[in-house]
A and B are shown apart, each in its own frame.
Chain A
Amino acid sequence: MEHFETTLGQANIASIIIFFVFVAVTLGITYWAAKRTKTTKEFYAADRSISGFQNGLALSGDYMSAASFLGIAGMVALKGYDGLIYSIGFLVGWPLVMFLIAEPLRNLGKFTFADVVAFRLRQKPVRVASSVGSLMTIVFYLIAQMVGAGALIQILFGLPYETAVIIVGCVMIAYVLFGGMLATTWVQIIKAVLLLTGATVLVILTLAHFDFSPTALFHQAVDRYGDAVLSPGGFVTNPWDAISLGIALILGTAGLPHILMRFFTVPDAKQARKSVFVATGFIGYFYILTFIIGFGAMVFVGQDIIIGVDKGGNMAALLLSEAIGGRFFLGFIAAVAFATILAVVAGLTLSGASTLSHDLYVSVFKDGKTDEAGEVRVAKIATLCIGLLAILLGFAFKGQNVAFTVGLAFAIAASANFPSLLLSIVWKRYTTAGAVASIVTGAGLAVLLIVLSPTVWVDILKNEAAIFPLKNPALFSMAAAFLVGVVVSLMKPEPAAQAKFEDEKLRTYLGIGAE
C-alpha cells in the first residue's frame, strides 16, 4: 500500500484481449441486428421489441458514462462526501422522468421527442426548433465523450490520441449504421452488465480487506485524511449555484434526446414505466458502488498518487483496481471503461442521426412524405455524418478543458428540451410560436450565460471576474424558457392546437392510437 507503482500508460495485454472480445461480440450482434433493421421502426426503435427490463438496463447503460464512473469515483477519492452529493443530483432526475414524462412520451411519440412537441402544433417551425435543441445537447455531450475517450485510451492502452478517437468513431458508426437501435440497445445492455459487474467485484475486493464492513473502510479513511472526508465540504457553498446545478442535472436528465429516444423501443407505456424503475435501481446501486470505490482508492492508493497520475482524480477507480486486483483486473476495468465510452457515443449518434433524418429531412424538407427505404437511407447517411462529426470534434478539442460541456449539455436539455416537452404534454394553450420562442430562449440563454459564467469566462478565457455569477445557468435559462413559452402562447392563441389537445388526451392517458 505504501509504495504502489502503477503500470497505467503501458500496453496491458489483458485489457487489449478483453476489449477485442467485447468489440468482436458486439460486432457479431450488430451483424445479427442488421438483418432485422430494414424499416424505420426497426432502425429508430428496434421494432418496439425491447422489454421493460432490457430497456431499463440499456437506459442505465446510456446514462452511466465513463465520466460518471471515473469522474465521480475520482471526486469521492479526493473530496470524500462531496462526490456523493454530486452523484445524488444525477439520480434524482430519474423519478421525475417517470412521474412526468415517460408514459405520455411513449403514448404520443413515434421515434423522437420532437414528435411529441410537434404533435398538435405546426410541424415545420417546431421540428426545426426542437432539432436545434436536440443537436446542441448531443454535440456538447459528444465533445466531452470523444475528448474523454481519446485521453482515457491514451492513458490505458498507450495508443496515440488520434488513433483512439478514430477507433471509437469507426466501431460506433458500425453499430449504428448497420444495426440501428437494436444493435445499439444490446451494446448498452452488455456494457451496463459489464460495468455493474466490474464495479461490484471492485467493491467486494475492497471490502474483503475490511471483513466486509464499510464502517472499517471509512474508519481508515478518516484516520488518514481526517473527519472532513465524511462531511460536506466546499462543493456547495453558494446556495444559488447549488440550486442551479441541481435543476440542470434533474430536468436535464428529463430532456436528454438519447435517453428520451429509448422510450420508443418498448411496446407500451407500462413497459416504459418499468424501464425507469429498473434504470433508477441500477443507476442508484452504481452510484453507491462508486462511493465505496472512491473511498477504497483513497485508502489503498492514496490521494497523492491519484493526483500525481491525473490532477482531476479521474484515474482513481483504475488505480484501485490495479492496487487491489493486479494487472489483469486493471485490464478488465480499463476495457469496461472503453466499452462504456463506445456505448454512450453510439447512443448519442443514433439520437443525433434520427433528429437529422426524422425531424429535419422527412418532416421539414419532405413534408413528411417519404417511403420507408428512402427514410432509412437518409437515416444511415445522417449516422455517417454525425459519426464523422464526433471524430472531428474529438480532434478539434484535443487537450482542451471540456469538462464544462457536460454541464452545458444538461443545461440546454433542461432549458430547451424539457420545458417544451412538458408544456406540450400538459398545457392546452401551448402554441407553435410559444414552443419556438421557448426553445430558442432556453438554448440561447444557456449557451450565452455559460460563456459569461465563471466556468468559461474565468476558468477558460482567463478573465478576472465573471459577468454572470453562477457556474451553471440552468436556473435562469430554464425559468426564462418556461416564462417565454407561456407568455408568447397567451399573446396569440392557436385554436387548432387547443382543439387537438382534447383528442390527444385519449392517447396520452389511455394509449389509444399510440404507435
Chain B
Amino acid sequence: MSLNHRDVQEILASEEFKSLVRSRVSVSLTLTVIMLAVYFGFILTIAFHRELLAVKIGEVITVGLPIGIGIIVFAWLLTGVYTRWANQSYDKRVRKLRNEILNR
C-alpha cells in the first residue's frame, strides 16, 4: 500500500469519511451516556430515596431485585446493540472506504 500525503488529505476531507467518523462518535457517545445515566440513576436513587427500591412487588420480592438484575442484563444488551450496529452498518462502510483507498 502506498498512500501519499495528498491521497490521505483527500480521504480525510471526503464527506464519506467524515460522516463515518460522525456516526461512530455519535453512536459511541449516545450509548456511553445511556449506560452512565442508568448506572448513576440507580446509585443516586439508592443514595437519596432508597425506600423506592424496597417497594414490594410480590410477597417478599422488592422492585430493586428486577432492577438490579435488569441493569446487568441491560449492560450486556447494550454491548449487543453496539456490536450489531458496528457489524451491520459501520463495518460495511469501513470496508467500502478501505477498498477505495487500497485500490488507488
Contact = CB atoms under 8 A, between A and B. Distances in A.
Given A85-B46, A94-B75, A281-B79, 7 more contacts: A85-B68, A96-B32, A103-B86, A250-B36, A250-B39, A506-B101, A512-B1
B46 A511 contact: no
Given A242-B46, A509-B20, A222 B60 contact: yes
Given A92-B35, A506-B12, A238 B47 contact: yes
Nearest to B60: A222
Interface in B31-78: 31-32, 35-36, 39-40, 42-44, 46-48, 50, 53-54, 58-62, 64-65, 68-69, 71-73, 75-76, 78
Interface in A243-275: 243, 246, 250, 270, 273-274
A274 B12 CA distance: 27
Contacts of A513: 1
Contacts of B75: 91-92, 94-95, 280, 284
Interface string A304-326: 00000000000000000000000
A230 interface: yes
B64 A236 contact: no
A242 B60 contact: no
B31 A287 contact: no
Contact of B61 (A88, A215, A276, A281): A215
Given A88-B71, A288-B72, A512 B101 contact: yes
A237 B72 CA distance: 22
Interface of A: 81, 84-85, 87-89, 91-92, 94-96, 98-100, 103, 215, 218-219, 222, 227, 230-232, 235-239, 242-243, 246, 250, 270, 273-274, 276-277, 280-281, 284, 287-288, 291, 502-503, 505-506, 509-513
Contacts of B29: 99
Contacts of A218: 60-61, 65
A2 to B, nearest CB: 22
Given A270-B91, A502-B12, A506-B8, A239 B62 contact: no
Given A99-B31, A243-B43, A509 B83 contact: no
Nearest to A279: B79
B46 A84 contact: no
B35 A88 contact: no
Contacts of B94: 509-511
Nearest to B21: A509
Contacts of A287: 72
Contacts of A238: 47
B62 A231 contact: yes
Q: Which of B1, B72, B91 has the most CB of A within 10 A?
A: B72
Q: How large is the interface on B (under 10, 10 to 19, 20 to 34, 35 or more residues)?
A: 35 or more
Given A231-B54, A510-B98, A246 B60 contact: no
Contacts of A222: 60
A231 B64 contact: yes
Contacts of B28: 99-100
A96 B35 contact: yes
B8 A284 contact: no
B11 A276 contact: no
B71 to A, nearest CB: 5
Contacts of A284: 72-73, 75-76
B51 to A, nearest CB: 8
Contacts of B32: 95-96, 99-100
Given A94-B75, A99-B82, A506-B11, A230 B43 contact: no
A242 B35 CA distance: 16
Contacts of A89: 39
A337 to B, nearest CB: 22
B71 A280 contact: no
30 contacts: A81-B64, A85-B68, A88-B39, A88-B72, A89-B39, A92-B39, A92-B75, A94-B79, A95-B82, A96-B36, A98-B79, A100-B28, A219-B59, A227-B60, A227-B62, A231-B53, A231-B62, A236-B43, A236-B47, A239-B44, A242-B46, A270-B86, A277-B80, A281-B76, A284-B75, A509-B17, A509-B94, A510-B101, A512-B98, A513-B1
Contact of B50 (A84, A87, A215, A232): A232
Contact of A237 (B47, B59, B80): B47
Interface in B1-41: 1, 3, 8-9, 11-12, 17, 20-21, 24, 27-29, 31-32, 35-36, 39-40
Nearest to B102: A512
A470 to B, nearest CB: 13
B53 A232 contact: yes
Contacts of B72: 87-88, 91, 284, 287-288
Contacts of B65: 81, 218, 230
B47 A246 contact: no
Contacts of A239: 43-44, 47-48
Of listed B43, B53, B83, B87, residue having the most chain A CB within 10 A: B43
B70 to A, nearest CB: 10
B39 A232 contact: no
A90 to B, nearest CB: 10
Nearest to A287: B72
A505 B68 contact: no
A217 to B, nearest CB: 10
A191 to B, nearest CB: 21
Kindly list the 7 A-B residue pairs having the minimum CB-CB distance in the complex, ordered from nearest.
Answer: A231-B54, A239-B47, A222-B60, A99-B28, A236-B46, A284-B72, A232-B50
Contacts of B44: 239, 242-243
